[in-house]
Chains A and B, each alone.
Chain A
Amino acid sequence: MDTPVNKKKLSLKEKYSYLTRDLAWEPSYQKKEDLFPYATYEGIKVHDWSKWEDPFRLTMDAYWKYQAEKERKFYAIIDAFAQNNGHLKLTDARYLSALKIFLQAISPGEYAAHKGFARTGREFPGVGPQVACQMQAIDEIRHAQTQIHAMSNYNKFYNGFHGFADQRDRIWYTSVPRSFFDDAMASGPFEFMIAIGFSFEYVLTNLLFVPFMSGAAYNGDMSTVTFGFSAQSDEARHMTLGLECIKFMLEQDPDNVPIVQKWIDKWFWRGFRVLGLVSTMMDYMLPKRVMSWREAWDIYGEENGNALFNDLARYGIRPPKGWGDAAEAVDHMSHQFMLALYQWNFGTAFHSWIPSDNDMDWLSKKYPNTFDKYYRPRWEHIKKLEANGTPFKNYGLAKNCQTCQLPCVFTEPGDPTTLCHRETEYKGEHYHFCSDHCRDIFQEEPEKYVQAWLPMPQLFQEPINGDLEAWMKWVSLVDGEDNGDYQGSHDQTSFEKWREMATSN
């Protein structure tokens, strides 16, 4: 009875190998190709799946333990936020526009990532990535749920939060991230990993989450800081999986290198276009700014991206094709896109506004080579129109880029005064693009992109048939409440009234 037991704890490596590697088996009465039918058609050659290691060596028991701890921390703060009227501690209710965009455009992306990783975890033949992808699938659904839950508190008090699910599917600016995720989910498992694991997680999420959470902290939004941090604690693992996946493909076979390079080119540019929305949030929508989009790009795009691409050079990988154009566009994109959002703000489920003199001075400082020269004069003109009682509204429709689905509002590389517009013909139809890179992506896979649903043509199709009121109903946008200028909005008057009540008797 008293046989001495070996109490020695398993090392991390041993534990990982028992609880991950040893869960796999070789099929005996089915063919491996039948079990994993999507593993080879993309052309990626894999000789040894056991070479795929999760450097975190995270096993399911540890995973549940730490995730439970994260959830407890999250709900403790969310409850405190609701109990203490946390929404009145915001710097200003203008800030909420950034949150509304986040809820309508980004949180549904978390849900899409969940679906994608659940599927990819099933499709990879190796047990290492199967387990890591399953964990990430659970993380991503947690992100979607905690974000929606945290923001539901704002929905009790403010406009623009109520219709995010319809808007995810139907409104024009959200179709940019939606099509990004749809494109990734309609790809094979390896391309999906480059799209989300590598491009989105490793190269781009820092630009989205890190400055955004600092922004939330600066603007008194404890609930967003909380969901942001809770999600971001998983991101380090996601980034590692993305980097691991790319190294794995490059090391398995030299034939994989050109395929991987093509995906890096494509997904970097697609991701960069999604960040167009984020750039306006950082430069224009935070009452208290943290860093400019340009500054965030310098740290998390330029410096971090170069370190990564220098490192991958040993496999024969070069920086993405759009890298140089992106670096140039960083000084223009937030201004060009914010001008677009403002002039079409009858059709946005968030508010925008003409930047104040103080805001414009900040922008001049942060964009010394571009703001005063190209963008201040336009805002000044718009301000004059507004003061004369003829505010600038654009009821015309922009062309959508067939690939990234942004309205074609960006300018030519090297010439910020000329709109950039490309087109191509395919099977007798005309297709429009915002850039060379989006056109190139289309030309690689035209049969995929001709099927894209585009928000502008939708206006003339059933059930809208060109009727703006019908469109608003269809996208769950309440005219006069959710849309338009912040000045004079319900959000503005409610926030000011409630804050007044909270600070006086």
Chain B
Amino acid sequence: MSTVFIAFQTNEETRPIIEAIELDNPAATVYQEPAMVKIDAPDELVIRRETIEEQMGREYDLQELQVNLITMSGHLSEDEDTFTLSWK
């Protein structure tokens, strides 16, 4: 097992995003750090557009994630619907 992670700035825009990630990734651990939130997950982490849209109550383009991203680890694969980090 290897850990993948992603970190975002702590702000109003990322709050629903982090909630969506927690819903979609029950194995993930969320760390609230000064001014940032870091999320670790074993081997894989999936971010889904639909879940974010439900949490935000508006349409969302996954490329918007880049505005508040701080760092990440793992191989990325991204399309319209999902943003996946994995070590497999």
Query: Looking at the complex, which of B1-9, B21-29, B50-58 is the stretch in contact with chain A?
Result: B1-9
Q: A229-B9, A237-B66, A307-B2 are in contact. Are A12 and B80 (CB under 8 A)?
A: yes
Q: Whole-angstrom distance from the CB of B78 to the nearest CB of chain A? A: 6
Question: What does the 1/0 interface line of A55-88 toward B look like (CB < 8 Å)?
Answer: 1111000100010011001000000000000000
Chain A residues with Cβ under 8 A from B66's Cβ? 56, 58, 66, 233, 236-237
Task: Check B2–A310 contact: CB distance below 8 A.
Answer: yes
Q: With A and B bound together, what is the CA distance between A308 and B87 in angstroms? A: 8
Contact check, A233 vs B69: say whether CB atoms are below 8 A apart.
yes
One of A158-166, A211-219, A319-327, A452-460 at the interface: A211-219
Q: Does A290 contact B (CB under 8 A)?
A: yes
Which of A56, A66, A303, A307 has a CB less than 8 Å from the CB of B67?
A66
Q: Which of B24-70 contact A (CB under 8 A)?
A: 33-36, 63-64, 66-70
Q: A218-B34, A233-B66 are in contact. List 20 more A-B contacts (CB 8 A).
A: A55-B76, A58-B63, A58-B66, A70-B67, A209-B70, A210-B70, A214-B35, A232-B69, A233-B67, A233-B69, A233-B70, A236-B72, A237-B66, A239-B71, A247-B75, A290-B34, A307-B2, A308-B73, A310-B87, A311-B2
- The residue in chain B whose Cβ has the minimal distance to the Cβ of A234 is B66
Please report the C-alpha to C-alpha distance between residue A307 and residue B4 in the assembled complex, in whole angstroms: 8
Q: Which residue of B lies closest to A9 (CB)?
A: B80
B79 is an interface residue with CB less than 8 A from chain A: yes
**Contact: B70 with A12, CB < 8 Å?**
no
Q: Is the CB of A66 within 8 A of B63?
A: yes
Distance in angstroms from A70 CB to nearest chain B CB is 6
**In the complex, how many angstroms separate the beta carbon of A502 from the nearest chain B beta carbon?**
23
Asked if A69 contacts B67 (CB within 8 A), the reply is: yes
Q: Known: A62-B63, A213-B36, A233-B66. Is A243-B71 also a contact (CB below 8 A)? A: no
CA A56 – CA B68 in complex, angstroms? 15
Our pick among B63, B71, B78 for the contact of A206 (Cβ within 8 Å) is B71
User: How many whole Å from B65's CB to the nearest CB in chain A?
Assistant: 9
Chain B residues in 8 Å Cβ range of A214: 33-36
B34 nearest CB across to chain A (Å): 4
Does residue A91 face the partner (Cβ distance < 8 Å to B)? no
Is A236 a contact partner of B69 (Cβ separation < 8 A)?
yes
Residues on A with C-beta less than 8 A from B33 are 214
Q: A213 contacts which chain B residues (CB < 8 A)?
A: 35-36, 70
**Chain B residues in 8 Å Cβ range of A210:** 7, 36, 70-71
**Does B78 lie within 8 Å of A56, measured CB to CB?**
yes
Q: Which of A55, A56, A66 contacts B64 (CB 8 A)?
A: A66
B59 → A minimal CB distance (Å): 12
